[in-house]
Structure 1
């Protein structure tokens, strides 16, 4: 079944609700005297602002943005998406949001660089009657909806896989692990860390632990170098890396220290380079988060919010609740993450069309088991 037909099937209920609203003759968005916005019209179209946080992680430009734009085109053919990327700069994202609000966007979809700082964006939007959908990271300030993954589950999946990898490698209990967590300004990173600790605490010795500003691979490499100096490269039995980009820096540090056979190393985001490191044996696992349904849910939430509808969720992606850093409860859809190892790459990222065998099996990886088995 095509992506187009799959999307229509998943969101048929939402489309019907929006179509009914359009048939009722709702006009373009305006702000009333009480600060409340009148509903926009799918029939006439409106503008959705999409603010993504950074470009160091490959997913945002390669997957999130195009998937979101495709989903909006399905739900609202006359709508426009105004897009900006903040390049991990809090003040830049603030300026981008202010410009969009000045230009008159009807709804904001916000993936915050800094969840707490983004509260000012949310408050400014609310002051102008513009609803906000928090995407992937839960911004403070009282957003209207939130879609992401169950982030503590992500950390638990990583922790479980790390222990599994050490058991398979025969290194469980042989020495300490190193934990290299994500950015302290990203609330998701705190959840990943908490979930991982739920699994790892009491099961392994944590010899060194770091939080990594900006999710920087370079900083992760420096932190791993520090851990190697304090623990000794040969004594490290595993490494918890919060994402694939940082795993690249961690592996570079280990190779520079003369390590030929990598200890089990985790990751996240199923980046192409991460998948290739898994099939070559440098990285043990990554977390695959199916970005297309996340982007599709965000688009459905945005269209519902702009048109005055209440997003109800679907059987496949039911509506639940999440609590932001300020203690406010937000209607949310939380998707399930999947652990990817060498054993299930074909059944996950390849079968879903996230990557093709040809993309994974470049010349450098042609002799790996996966690529030889696929005849690449």
Structure 2
């Protein structure tokens, strides 16, 4: 055999051996049902799916706080994040994308708790654990972390009653609730009615769909129906809608009446300082995000969650879900220092911009 022939034979043998080894490697590198590689211990990826970008807390607090806690608990874990931007169909697509990426745990705040049920079932069928975050999604979720949402509604309703004082029994109230697709909205409403029924006259009640523009339209309709002078107070299920309502009240020449909210958004806190909103409900973002991250990491690592999820909630699909419920706090002008400022959610500088400087000084914040 000449030298040229020998090189060809050796080269061919080397290629053949490389192909054979590659084929063996591919055969051994099996994919599990989630679509991720099952070799090397599998994926350590957690998916975080939040419902909208209109509610300020999700992008400003929940997402970065969750990320930070996961990294603290699991240095080699990765968080895949997506926001549904208020679109239930988009969120379903995001669940599918998470499955394709091979995540092992999905933490989801459902845009529509019923619509997402089939997507959750698909994920669970692929061996993925699902944690319901802030909103109890339907389907076979492994854990749920939120606040006592009935209590949130009670705090809102009681804050309205307290603000009305002795005028409460004679007062006509407008009630703007959240979106019925969100299971929390029903619990807020339930709690609010516990505090309000028999103490005020709820003369107009509608859903604002968690949208400031819709809430503003409903408030305008209530003013037309009841008359501006007949409205003594407004229950708004969150701060976002309270913003639209406050604008409508101002446009109608209505001032000095109590208006509730929820989420302790910066704009809501500033309205409280200015006197155009009377209260909000502070649901501390960090404890909730931290709790969700701990549940997710425990589920990822196959650890027990009984010490974390110490109670049970039943979803509208009938699933009994191990749950961790945190305690909400009512916020008025009197305790801003002891809540959102103390917890460093905002600084005095954040709240007391030029527009609110005079009101902040009067409130003792400057």
TM-score, length basis structure 2: 0.88
Q: Is the 8 A contact 1:45 1:77 kept in 2?
A: no
Following superposition, the deviation at residue 30 of structure 1 comes to: 6.8
SS in 1 for 2:322: strand
Unaligned runs of 5+ residues in structure 1 are: 1-27
| 2:242 paired with 1:247 | yes
- Partner of residue 205 from structure 2, selected from 203, 209, 220: 209
- Partner of residue 179 from structure 1, selected from 175, 178, 184: 175
Distance of 1:309 and 1:249 partners within structure 2:
45
Residues 218-255 of structure 1, C-alpha deviations (whole Å, 9 max, x = no match): 00000000000011111111111000010011111111
SS in 1 for 2:333: coil
Q: Report the CA distance shift for 1:174/1:32 in structure 2 as closer, same or farther (over 3 A).
A: closer
- Please give the residue correspondences for 1:20-169 in structure 2 after superposition, counting only pairs within 5 Å: 31=32, 46-167=44-165
Q: Report the CA distance shift for 1:327/1:39 in structure 2 as closer, same or farther (over 3 A).
A: farther
Distance of 2:73 and 2:30 partners within structure 1:
17
SS in 2 for 1:355: coil
Which structure's residues are more often helix, by fraction?
Answer: 2
Residues 62-120 of structure 1, C-alpha deviations (whole Å, 9 max, x = no match): 00000000000100011110000000101100111101101111110011000011111
- Please give the residue correspondences for 1:185-224 in structure 2 after superposition, counting only pairs within 5 Å: 185-213=181-209, 215-224=210-219
2:253 alignment partner in structure 1: 258
Which is higher, the Rg of structure 1 or of structure 2?
A: 2
Distance of 2:31 and 2:336 partners within structure 1:
48
- Please give the residue correspondences for 1:251-290 in structure 2 after superposition, counting only pairs within 5 Å: 251-259=246-254, 261-290=255-284
Unaligned runs of 5+ residues in structure 2 are: 1-28
Q: Is the 8 A contact 1:39 1:306 kept in 2?
A: no
Distance of 2:220 and 2:39 partners within structure 1:
55
| 2:303 paired with 1:312 | no
Q: How many residues align?
A: 337
Following superposition, the deviation at residue 309 of structure 1 comes to: 1.2
Q: Is the 8 A contact 1:46 1:105 kept in 2?
A: yes
Following superposition, the deviation at residue 340 of structure 1 comes to: 0.2
